[in-house]
């Protein structure tokens, strides 16, 4: 029954060539105005324009721009375009500072950190939350059609830097940190905001901007709810929102599922797939220029779909999504082909979401519903083991549908099934020694500044030498999930290396960054489409998690009084 349902859903998802615009707000997503402004390069960062506010109603602005095009034979100068933007748009924050009402300077978890320097570090990071607190201004609520920001009701924590809105998967690690600090009201408000977006759009978008409308991010909403419920026992909140959690799972089944045949057996799993017209509005000129050398309009649109799908993955961008002519992962953005890759981490997250639903329905005294979700979770775990596990190497890999083979490269996502509990315990017991051996032999754990995103120096920001907090978190929690003494020791070592590196950067810069350099402890990462961002929500959450988990034994320095980077 399940198999038939999934295959039918996969077939339905593949039908239809008429792609929607990136969003239903033309000024920001699908208009001559967007194209001319972004290709004129009025701003160093393409995100600047699509975050600006309209002085007039969108219909009037679009009509006025049509008049400009007509009067200039569709060839306005850069100065004319700039004058138009200055006349009809302005830059002022749609958000106001917001003090989380449940913030306390000295949360109890700090007492569990024995090392005084690390305890102070934990306190300093916890103290960052108020500086990242925001609430939507009333002007946005009063006239929402003039803004790209999607209004939400509750105050929230932004990631930081250029990211001045909610981002979906960032919120998972932010909530981890908030819950550790006893900020359960703020965490609940964050979850409510995501559910509000889900109700408006039918899914949780990449971020709370209209130009993210047609793509999501790793579906961690149920995992956030799980952490919140385990901390608070707030069953009325769960009961109020259980149907919305189910709605998100159905969205992924309806839109992202695909079936593949391996060894004569058919398996249905998820991929990232975000088809919509044209470049990403927030990175318009970057996408447009890359596609400009492609021969046909169909090829350009294929590229745009792949680039948006990679943004949906959160790994924007990485050699992980490159498929060259030989089926390898070398190349550049023109070789991005994520739509032909079945990601192990996405499917692990989804299996976990199914299991969470079983747990939630059990809490709500709905045993038949709980059994239904538990059965689906078991089926998904089975598919994960059959499709992603590589018996030769002793690890899970992404699967390349185009070349019908595993993607045999080191990425922290390879251990995502452990992180998300997407593998049965008996299977973990069977594989644990080989998984640990793989990680050690990969050399991915050997760097003094953290676990790198890959071992490929591609120039993309989700590649070597950058180390990203969520991926370090995945590795540490995966090692813990092995359940072995050696696995726990390696997890501790990775966590301690990361905490020391982040602390070094904090002491030198008084900032927490979104990514770091695995080769140089404390240095911020580089590459990609924008400069490094400070703040930073998920970095704070991951470090606080490690401090809380290992605080009794973590040390800021070794026995000689030096941190790892100074040895």
Q: Report, as residue numbers or ranges, the catalytic residues.
A: 316, 514
Half-sphere CA count of 191, side-chain side, radius 13 A: 30
CB neighbours of residue 11 within 10 Å:
12
d(CA 162, CA 5): 42
What's the Cα-to-Cα distance from 190 to each of 150, 153, 164, 251, rounded to whole Å?
14, 10, 14, 21
- Which residue spans within 383-474 are E strands per DSSP? 389-390, 395-396, 399-400, 405-406, 466-467
Write the DSSP assignment of 152-174 as a string of letters.
-SS-EE--BTTB-S-BHHHHHHH
List Cβ neighbours of 412 (8 Å cut-off, separation of 6 or more): 444, 451, 453, 471, 472, 474, 475
The rounded distance, in Å, linking the Cα atoms of 247 and 201 is 11
In DSSP terms, 95 is beta-bridged to: 136
Distance CA 487, CA 431 (A): 12
Q: How far is Cα 288 from Cα 42, in angstroms, rounded to an integer?
A: 15
- Token couple for 324: 């060259």
Hey, what are 62's tokens?
């679009």
Q: What is the DSSP string of 333-351?
A: GGGB-GGGEE-HHHHHHHH
Q: Residues with Cβ < 8 Å from 311, sequence gap 6 or more?
A: 206, 215, 274, 280
Name the maximum alpha-carbon separation found in the chain.
Answer: 74
In terms of phi and psi (left: phi > 0; alpha: psi -120 to 50; beta: otherwise), the region of 162 is alpha
DSSP one-letter code for 383: H
CA nearest neighbour of 352 among 233, 232, 466, 249: 249
CA-nearest of 389, 422, 423 to 406 is 389
Radius of gyration, CA atoms only, the chain: 23
Residue 318 in contact with residue 454, Cβ under 8 Å? yes
What's the rounded Cα separation, in Å, for the pair 7 and 9?
Answer: 5
Question: What is the number of H-type helices and E-type strands within the chain?
Answer: 21, 14
Q: Distance between alpha carbon 7 and the CA centroid of its chain, in Å?
A: 27
Asked if 283 contacts 47 with a C-beta cutoff of 8 angstroms, the reply is yes
Cα distances from 154 to residues 187, 195, 487, in angstroms, run 10, 11, 40
Contact 224, 541 (CB under 8 A): no
Q: Which residues pair with 259 in a beta bridge?
A: 268
Q: Give the C-alpha separation, 153 to 175, whole Å.
A: 17
Q: Minimal CA–CA distance to 400: which of 391, 390, 467?
A: 390
């Amino acid at each position: 029954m399940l198999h038939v349902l999934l295959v039918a859903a996969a077939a339905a998802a593949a039908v239809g060539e008429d792609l929607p615009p990136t969003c239903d707000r033309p000024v920001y997503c699908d208009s001559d105005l967007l194209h001319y402004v972004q290709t004129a390069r009025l701003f160093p960062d393409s995100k600047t324009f699509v975050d600006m506010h309209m002085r007039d109603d969108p219909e009037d602005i679009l009509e006025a721009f049509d008049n400009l095009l007509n009067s200039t034979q569709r060839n306005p100068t850069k100065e004319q375009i700039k004058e138009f933007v200055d006349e009809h748009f302005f830059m002022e924050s749609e958000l106001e500072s917001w003090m989380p009402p449940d913030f306390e300077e000295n949360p109890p978890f700090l007492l569990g950190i024995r090392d005084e320097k690390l305890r102070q570090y934990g306190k300093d990071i916890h103290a960052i939350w108020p500086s990242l607190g925001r609430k939507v201004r009333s002007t946005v609520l009063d006239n929402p059609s003039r803004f790209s920001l999607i209004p939400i009701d509750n105050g929230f924590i932004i990631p930081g830097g250029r990211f001045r809105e909610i981002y979906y998967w960032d919120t998972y690690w932010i909530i981890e940190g908030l819950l550790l600090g006893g900020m359960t009201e703020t965490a609940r408000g964050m979850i409510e905001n995501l559910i509000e977006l889900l109700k408006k759009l039918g899914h949780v978008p990449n971020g709370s901007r209209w130009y993210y409308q047609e793509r999501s991010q790793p579906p961690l909403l149920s995992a956030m709810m799980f952490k919140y419920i385990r901390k608070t026992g707030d069953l009325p909140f769960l009961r109020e929102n259980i149907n919305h959690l189910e709605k998100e799972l159905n969205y992924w089944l309806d839109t992202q599922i695909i079936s593949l045949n391996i060894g004569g057996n058919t398996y249905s799993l998820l991929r990232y797939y975000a088809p919509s017209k044209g470049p990403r509005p927030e990175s318009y000129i970057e996408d447009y220029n890359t596609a400009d050398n492609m021969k046909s309009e169909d090829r350009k649109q294929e590229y745009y779909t792949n680039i948006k799908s990679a943004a949906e993955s959160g790994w924007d961008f990485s050699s992980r999504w490159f498929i060259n002519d030989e089926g390898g992962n070398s190349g550049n953005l023109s070789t991005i082909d994520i739509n032909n890759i079945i990601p192990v981490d996405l499917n692990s997250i989804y299996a976990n979401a199914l299991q969470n639903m079983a747990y939630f329905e059990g809490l709500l005294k709905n045993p038949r519903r709980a059994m239904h979700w538990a059965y689906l979770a078991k089926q998904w775990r089975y598919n994960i083991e059959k499709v992603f596990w590589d018996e030769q190497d002793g690890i899970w890999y992404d699967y390349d549908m185009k070349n019908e083979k595993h993607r045999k490269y080191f990425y922290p996502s390879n251990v995502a099934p452990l992180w998300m509990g997407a593998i049965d315990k008996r299977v973990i017991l069977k594989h644990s020694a080989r998984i640990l051996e793989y990680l050690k032999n990969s050399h991915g754990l050997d760097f003094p500044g953290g676990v790198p995103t890959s071992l490929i120096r591609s120039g993309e920001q989700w590649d070597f030498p950058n180390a990203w907090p969520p991926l370090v978190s995945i590795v540490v929690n995966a090692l813990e999930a092995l359940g072995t003494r050696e696995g726990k020791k390696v997890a501790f070592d990775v966590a301690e290396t990361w905490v020391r590196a982040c602390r070094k950067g904090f002491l030198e810069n008084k900032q927490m960054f979104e990514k770091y350099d695995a080769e140089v402890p404390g240095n911020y990462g580089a590459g990609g489409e924008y400069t490094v961002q400070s703040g930073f929500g998920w970095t704070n959450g991951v470090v606080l998690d490690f401090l809380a988990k290992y605080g009794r034994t973590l040390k800021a320095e070794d026995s000689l009084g030096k941190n790892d980077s100074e040895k």
